[in-house]
A and B are shown apart, each in its own frame.
Chain A
Amino acid sequence: MTEIVDRLPAVAATPMRLTLKFMRLFVAAGGLLMALTFFVVVIVRYGFSGNLFAYEEWLLAISFWTFFLGAALAAERKSHVNADILGVVLGRSRLAWWRGLAVYLIEFVIGIYIVYWCYLAVESEIIAYPLWEKTTALKIPAVFPRTAILVGFFFMTLFNTIYMILHIIDGPARFETGRLEAGK
């Protein structure tokens, strides 16, 4: 776990730690399930001349959760791809702190916007009841995988916001000494 947990007040740190742990386990299991399913598909096809009927329906639905919980964890680790060239050039100067702040603010605003339209989509899906969109064979409601996208972006934005607050608390002076690791 990263500083996001370490620097959180104890009340928030414990549920956060548990959430992250759950996400890590889910993502690991989801990846293994993906591989195992295809392995079994091949075995069943040649070993038993059989077929896993409509396995793509549940596998894809679960995979959306794997992908977007993984993406949430990536935000907690600050692993999302960016062009870090300015970071290399500016080092740990005051200017770098201001650039970090600008980046955090933009990511905060756009992040909230993304969460907003994800929410709109999931909401419209839910209120369409009883005409819920479902998969053809197994009737898995589309709300299930789509909620994964909403939850994923929600956590990405949440983690990012916490980093932003830590960045502001640290301020340019402490940032420059490099004692804290909140800067991008």
Chain B
Amino acid sequence: MIILGSIIIICGLLLLGVSVYIAFGAVLLFLAMTGGHDITGYLPAGYWKMNTLVLLAIPLFMIAGAIMEKGKIAAPLVALAELFIGHIKGGLSAAAVVASGIFGSISGSANATLTCIGGIMMPHLRKANYPEGLSAALIVSASPLGLLIPPSSSHILYAWVAQQSVLKAFLSTVFPGIILIVLLIVTNQFALRKYKDIRVTERPTDFVPEFKIQTRQALPALFMPLIILGGIYGGIMTPTEAAGVAVIYSIPIAIYVYRGLTWKSLINTLSDAGITIGVVMTMIFMVLIVSRFLIFEDIPTIAREMVFSVSENPIIILLMVNVVMILIGMLMDDISGLLLSTPLLLPIVQSVGVDPIHFAAILGVNLGMANVTPPTAPLLYLGAQITNTPVSKMLGPTFLFIFCAWLPTLVLTTFVPQLSLWLPNLLLSR
């Protein structure tokens, strides 16, 4: 009863267009009316869960992303990608996908990847006559690479909730990310076949000197993954500390090297980032309270019994778990989805022998996709603003990329555990 009621409230309100945090607030009202809780305990429950340094990695990665965007730190990376494949038909849009992947190794968020890459690539693509809806959808579909390629703020959250190694969780989605890159590019090439008047950039005659110039340009930006990933994997910093160091490193780079920011506009950038952080932390706060009260009502056990009453076959159970996550993902953003589904689904998959790190990858791919799938698709709406393209033009191509690139990646990640386990086991088992 409580499950059904909560689901109906969340789905109904979200479809109507109510803010996510309010929808969770409504569930709390419902829970208070059905159970005998003292609602004075709601705030402390969320407060205690949030009162940890681990969580600060999320706002820090968002600040770093905002500084990189305004600081034009992504521009030289894009130029480098264009230099290699810009002269082939479709190459420019492929460069956008590859650049999203490279940028993913600097940034821990999909939003930052989208704003940085989308803001730079879309004008180029328009100028070269690329179809606007398809290109915007491609950029949006590639932006979750910011999460799949380490570091990733959602994996920090997962490791925290599931008590797993952050480093292993990071590495679990590297291969799924690469597969996604390939599938997005291939799908896009097919979709581009009917467009005849796409212009290609000229192949640079003096490739080697050009390459040297562009690489030198990109060097301060490429130094960032070295600091972040090197710092984390080298045992010098925790992921949260690395995120803080990344912010401090990016400020002078943005101001003095790439000259995208001034000290004055830095304040505006920081307070704009603060707004996005407020949005995310409010959702985290509300979801943490809701998920705690769902555990109170023994919902994980009930969910588990429901799943096992249908089948005990691991393949079927994994399929069901994926369907549930896709549904959660349609309704929610990645962070709310992750916080709700981890305590619910991890015990289920673990009891059919799925490694928690393998599940980190399944969850990562699912929730990356969740950010793109309507109706709750923050990246899609953000992408529409950034690329200045109406959502209606993006919907069709977005579904194309979901079906031809995201879903196959998800299926491979789910049923080929080696894809997610090989790398973490190779690098981190001692």
Contacts and interface: CB of A to CB of B under 8 A. Distances in A.
**A, B assembled together:** yes
A71 B282 contact: yes
B59 interface: yes
A66 B53 CA distance: 14
A82 B376 contact: yes
A42 B40 contact: no
B169 interface: no
A107 interface: yes
B248 A35 contact: yes
Contact of B16 (A42, A99, A152): A99
Interface stretch (B271-279, B344-352, B411-419): B271-279
A110 B26 contact: yes
Interface size class of A (residues with CB under 8 A): 35 or more
A27 B17 contact: no
A68 B19 CA distance: 16
A36 B244 contact: yes
Given A81-B378, A111-B22, A118-B43, 16 more contacts: A24-B271, A31-B271, A35-B60, A35-B63, A36-B248, A71-B281, A77-B275, A80-B21, A80-B282, A83-B14, A83-B376, A102-B16, A110-B25, A117-B28, A124-B40, A152-B278
Interface of B: 13-22, 25-26, 28-29, 39-44, 46-47, 50-53, 56, 59-60, 63, 236-237, 240-241, 243-245, 247-248, 267-268, 270-271, 273-279, 281-283, 285, 331, 333, 374-378, 381, 391-392
A107 B377 CA distance: 20
A131 interface: no
Interface in A129-154: 142, 145-146, 149-150, 152
Given A81-B333, A81-B376, A81-B378, A28 B267 contact: yes
Contacts of B279: 70-71, 74, 79-81
Contact of B275 (A35, A64, A70): A70
Contact of A79 (B248, B270, B276): B276
A93 to B, nearest CB: 14
B25 A113 contact: yes
A120 interface: yes
Contact of B47 (A42, A88, A113, A145): A145
23 contacts: A27-B270, A27-B278, A31-B273, A35-B245, A41-B244, A42-B245, A59-B53, A70-B275, A71-B279, A81-B20, A82-B376, A86-B375, A88-B392, A99-B17, A107-B18, A107-B19, A113-B29, A117-B39, A117-B40, A121-B40, A121-B44, A146-B44, A150-B43
Interface of A: 24-25, 27-32, 34-39, 41-42, 46, 56, 59-60, 63-64, 66-74, 77, 79-88, 99, 102-103, 106-107, 110-111, 113-114, 117-118, 120-122, 124, 142, 145-146, 149-150, 152, 156, 184
Contacts of A103: 16-18
